[in-house]
Structure 1
Amino acid sequence: MLRKNKWTFVLVAFLLLCAAACTPNTAGTDDQPDSEPGSETPDPSAPSRDSIVIAVESDAVTMLANTDVNYVNDVQIRNIYDPLIERDEQGQFIPGLAEEWESIDELTWEFKLRDDVVFHNGEPFNAEAVKFNIDYILDESNQSFYLSRWTMVDEVEVVDDYTVRIKTSVPFPTLPLRIADDLLIMEPTHVQEVGNEEAARNPIGTGAYEFDQWQRDEYLILTANDQYWKGEPQIKQVTFRYISEFSARLSAFLSGDVHLFKNVPVDSVANIENDDQSKIEMIGSSRINYLALNNFYEGPLQDQRVRQAINYAVDVDELLEAVLNGYGTKMTGPLSQINADYTETSDYGYDPDRAIELIQEAGYEPEDLNLQIDTPSGRYPMDTHVAQAIASQLERIGISVNIQVNEWGNHLAKIRQRDMQDMFILGWGPAYDGQGTIENLFTENSPYSGFYDPEVEEQIYAALPIFDENERKQAFDDLQHLLVEQAAWVPLWQQGDLYAVDDQLTFIPRVDERFTVFEMSWD
């Protein structure tokens, strides 16, 4: 809990940590229960205190697993589905549905599975279920946004009921990372019998909570799986309420209608700390925030010199102090300081004169540039304020800037569909090693990439198969320096996550930002 000693907590947190679609975009959108908006939402003031209401910024795209790469999706469905490999609160691998795993050779991984797990419909969890879910990602007809991360997988082999082998076309040393961060286990028979669209409306997993109701753009209700293999959940009902505007989230929280939400703007911390029924929890997240300099869009930012000029013209130190009140750690490259592959990179620093020189070298005058920044509203701490402050900094050297504010789902869709213009605000995480960020944000076919260069991509794909830890680390060090030189982004900061929490709720924030309700309880 963060009360008055903000700076001490931030420093300690970061030092300890150092030692971001159904059959995409459509499934689950029809045939929802008929009701008045919010009429099915349970009363959070019920005396039993065995339920919880969590506010999130937007609706999930789908309840299907392994389909949409989207934080808002993930935090909800990870209460329905389980992974083979989990992470503890510090982000370290721990057994999940897989009890152990090993690399048999550079092209083969073997996983030993738990033999005491059943799905919500009573069907047994086994190796066939694992094979089905990986094959689901690899099947192009499912349009999984995870596919680009799994292209090195050749075959999934069922050895016996509780042993599965994954064979790859090239060495894939970080397959456990992909397993932990991407793969959730859906019940195969259900998906096969009802089809993807119905399975997106009525999901079945092995998780701590079972699907109950989903009213699009209003709420999702889950009920406890009392036969859960880890034990009976203490909280019996979970409601995720979709509240897009921060002011409405704050109002619902302070009135007791919501018990927990993330991304409290720094200018509202005191409102929560001064409420006797509330508290602020904070953790240094593995999420990074950046300004993408989009070279997929045909415009001046396809010129490296213009991208470098933008880096010189943006004063990140000023943004941190004036907009975020210090709640964040400055980045100079594409990885956060708690990333295992992090290396120190050069800081462009704030140099508006050099920015103007580079723009002129590229054949422009600053006044010639009329650029657009796209930003979500309320998805990241102070996101629209950050966009406005960056625009003001660029206007100091004569660049005209238009700010486009997007609803969160539309913001993601514009990135994936390559509809963004010059620049956009985005966060990414959790990412614990270099591949988790660099492959997913700097290759041509990755859905959230905003920068592509053939030579950079060639180096990325040369680095991925390296098993030797020292050689691999050097390859990712080189990539970080290259991306800074290319000015692929304006790196901003490693996010400090602020949560508003009911004072009676036991909730420990996680580095990976997940709302794992099984770990929560009421005092």
Structure 2
Amino acid sequence: MLKKKGIYTLFAGLMILGLLLAGCSNESSGNESSQDAPAKKGNDLTVAVDANFISMDPHDTNDTLSGSAQRTMFQGLFGFGKDMEVVPVLAKDYKVNDDGTVYTFHLKEGITFHDGAPFNAEAVKVNIDRLANPDNHLKRHSLFAMVDSTEAVDEYTVKINLKKPFGAFINNLAHPAGRIISPKALKKYGDEVARNPVGTGPFKFKEWVPGDHLTVAKYDDYWEEDYPKVDKITFEPTPENGSRVAKLQTGAADFIYPVPPEQAKKIDGKNGIEVKAEPSIVVQYLAMNNRKEPFNDVKVRKAINLAINKEAFIKVVKSGFAKPLDSVIAPKTAFYSGQEVYKYNLEKAKQLLKEAGYADGFKTTVWGENNSTSMKGMQFIQQQLAEIGVEVEIVPMETGTMSEKIWSAKPNETELEMYYGGWSPSTGDADWGIRPLLGGKEAFPPQSYNTAYYSNDKVNELISKALLTADPKEREKYYAEMQKIIWDDAPWAFLSVDYTISGKKDYLKGVYLLPDGSLSTHDAKIEQ
């Protein structure tokens, strides 16, 4: 791994470091010293991940990692293929009325939940009604707030009525939040269903020891023939990068993600390890609380953007496995519109701070996750902003603490000043890349994820217009305009579009990361 002094003395050695890292790419390294790894024993799979799981309730989850574990147990009417294309899962087909407000779905038959309850129209109704009810205070309510009512027409036909047309509704149903929970389990466990997940997926819940492991086991009555192909999957939270890599090297884990960028080329091709890196739709950003001084001044926010060298950020923090972020969403997201990147310019940044009344800089804090890669990113930002007199205190947090301090805090009570994080719009659509993060007061935590506490009346109007039409050309026009406005308002420091980087043993097939950073194990199999 990069040594810590590579961060703390960044500028002294940046030219040398840049040369060392310039060759990083998303291609395999072609290591010549490949070593044969010991043969895999048994048919169980171990996956090491970089953080703890928060919830196994897909309706009340706001992190991609928890959603990845949930995917083994739950399914929705629709899902996403390898390239984020919408595919039917529990639905056979659907039709929509002319004004786009009534969706009728025909469901697959003969499917049961892990507790024996039948999957049918009533089960879908129970789930959609749960999500659509604001009184349930579910984290993913906003994805289904447009639902007016749900009707079980017959055993395998369900009708969903919307309050008004919503252009991205099928994409929302394909989102991880649209996964269907057993109504029997919802009734039995109530809020505790988050620790007692019951779905229709290929694996059923076995055990969860927070901070140590989560295990799912093969569901013998799974509805797809010849699936699953492995007997058990154990997820092991391993936040420290070196420990996670060591598990893969020793065979204690069969698959890890993310692979720390600085280790990717070093381990690829050795000990039977294959590393894969691909462009994603995951954006990395630094949100600034637009309601708090000094970040309520756009000059300060633009100064922060100009003071961060995005190319250096990618080389040092991402080891080359990223591209500069040139909009609020990534190029692979539907209706993306690129902007002119804020170029590194310390003198202009200092001038803007002076004009805003902060010629001598100011003190602030940045909150973020406590894993190794996030720490490196925050340390980089700390060093960069010091060059313009901004003194940044890093406050790393475990995921549970972040959930309480950020996602549960009321807007007038939050202590958040800056937040270092990432987002993947897991609908594949611009709506979910923009609305929950920058969609005005309705998106402020705890309702949604607008950690910039950003609200622009024109942007809010354009978001509404884009949702009221299913015409792609109209939606493209609205999203292009709003992306330009947001870019000029600079509620974030726009950092990078990350690559997904995973590592696996060469005997493991069919496990991969989607562009949104989530994991698919549906086709997992072990070949000796």
TM-score scaled by length of structure 1: 0.87
Post-superposition offset of 1:422: 2.2
1:467, 1:518 → 2: CA distance? 31
1:405 corresponding residue in structure 2: 396
Q: Which of 496, 501, 526 lines up with 1:498 in the alignment? A: 501
Note if 1:58 corresponds to 2:55: no
2:264 corresponding residue in structure 1: 269
Post-superposition offset of 1:117: 1.1
2:14 corresponding residue in structure 1: none
2:319, 2:519 → 1: CA distance? 25
5+ residue gaps, structure 1, are 11-44
Q: Taking every aligned residue pair, what percent have the same amino acid on both sides?
A: 27
Q: 1:152 to 1:421 in 2, by over 3 A?
A: same
User: What letter matches 2:516 in structure 1?
Assistant: D
Q: 1:263 to 1:54 in 2, by over 3 A?
A: same
Post-superposition offset of 1:259: 1.2
Q: Which of 431, 435, 440 lines up with 2:436 in the alignment? A: 440
SS of residue in 2 equivalent to 1:301: coil
User: What letter matches 1:290 in structure 2?
Assistant: Y
2:203 corresponding residue in structure 1: 209
SS of residue in 2 equivalent to 1:131: helix
- Contact map agreement 1:282 1:509 (CA 8 A) in 2: no
- Contact map agreement 1:285 1:497 (CA 8 A) in 2: yes
1:476, 1:515 → 2: CA distance? 28
Note if 1:450 corresponds to 2:451: yes
2:243, 2:318 → 1: CA distance? 21
Per-residue CA deviation, residues 335-373 of structure 1 (Å, 9 max, x unaligned), is 1011111112122211222212222222221x2411222
2:7 corresponding residue in structure 1: none
User: What letter matches 2:280 in structure 1?
Assistant: S
Note if 1:520 corresponds to 2:528: no
Post-superposition offset of 1:430: 3.9
User: What letter matches 1:445 in structure 2?
Assistant: E
Give runs of aligned pairs for residues 455-474 of structure 1, distance below 5 A.
455=457, 456-474=459-477
- Contact map agreement 2:74 2:180 (CA 8 A) in 1: yes
Note if 1:71 corresponds to 2:56: no
Q: 1:393 to 1:512 in 2, by over 3 A?
A: closer
User: What letter matches 1:440 in structure 2?
Assistant: P
2:85, 2:116 → 1: CA distance? 31
2:89 corresponding residue in structure 1: 96
Per-residue CA deviation, residues 296-354 of structure 1 (Å, 9 max, x unaligned), is 4x220011111111111111112112332221111121010111111121222112222
1:252 corresponding residue in structure 2: 247
TM-score scaled by length of structure 2: 0.86
Give runs of aligned pairs for residues 3-402 of structure 1, distance below 5 A.
7=25, 9=27, 48-105=41-98, 106-181=100-175, 182-197=177-192, 199-231=193-225, 232-273=227-268, 275-296=270-291, 298-365=292-359, 367-378=360-371, 382-402=373-393
User: What letter matches 1:386 in structure 2?
Assistant: G
- Contact map agreement 2:281 2:329 (CA 8 A) in 1: no
Post-superposition offset of 1:8: 6.6
- Contact map agreement 2:150 2:160 (CA 8 A) in 1: yes
2:140, 2:59 → 1: CA distance? 7
Q: 1:405 to 1:324 in 2, by over 3 A?
A: same
Per-residue CA deviation, residues 91-127 of structure 1 (Å, 9 max, x unaligned), is 1011100111232132111211101211112221111
- Contact map agreement 1:235 1:518 (CA 8 A) in 2: no
SS of residue in 1 equivalent to 2:142: helix
Q: Which of 427, 442, 448 lines up with 2:422 in the alignment? A: 427
User: What letter matches 1:68 in structure 2?
Assistant: T
- Contact map agreement 2:249 2:271 (CA 8 A) in 1: no
Q: 1:454 to 1:342 in 2, by over 3 A?
A: closer
Q: 1:194 to 1:276 in 2, by over 3 A?
A: closer
Post-superposition offset of 1:459: 2.9
2:406, 2:460 → 1: CA distance? 19
Deviates more, 1:271-280 or 1:440-449: 271-280
Q: 1:5 to 1:227 in 2, by over 3 A?
A: farther
Post-superposition offset of 1:479: 0.5
Post-superposition offset of 1:281: 1.7
1:6, 1:58 → 2: CA distance? 25
1:52, 1:159 → 2: CA distance? 41
1:47, 1:359 → 2: CA distance? 58
User: What letter matches 1:438 in structure 2?
Assistant: I
Post-superposition offset of 1:515: 2.5
Runs in 1 of length 4+ with deviation above 4 angstroms? Answer: 45-48
2:406 corresponding residue in structure 1: 415
SS of residue in 2 equivalent to 1:7: coil
5+ residue gaps, structure 2, are 1-21, 29-37
- Contact map agreement 2:165 2:468 (CA 8 A) in 1: yes
1:468, 1:292 → 2: CA distance? 31
Post-superposition offset of 1:61: 2.0
Post-superposition offset of 1:228: 1.4
- Contact map agreement 2:102 2:160 (CA 8 A) in 1: yes
2:106, 2:39 → 1: CA distance? 43
RMSD over aligned CA atoms reads: 2.1
Deviates more, 1:200-209 or 1:188-197: 188-197
- Contact map agreement 2:257 2:502 (CA 8 A) in 1: yes
- Contact map agreement 1:114 1:162 (CA 8 A) in 2: yes
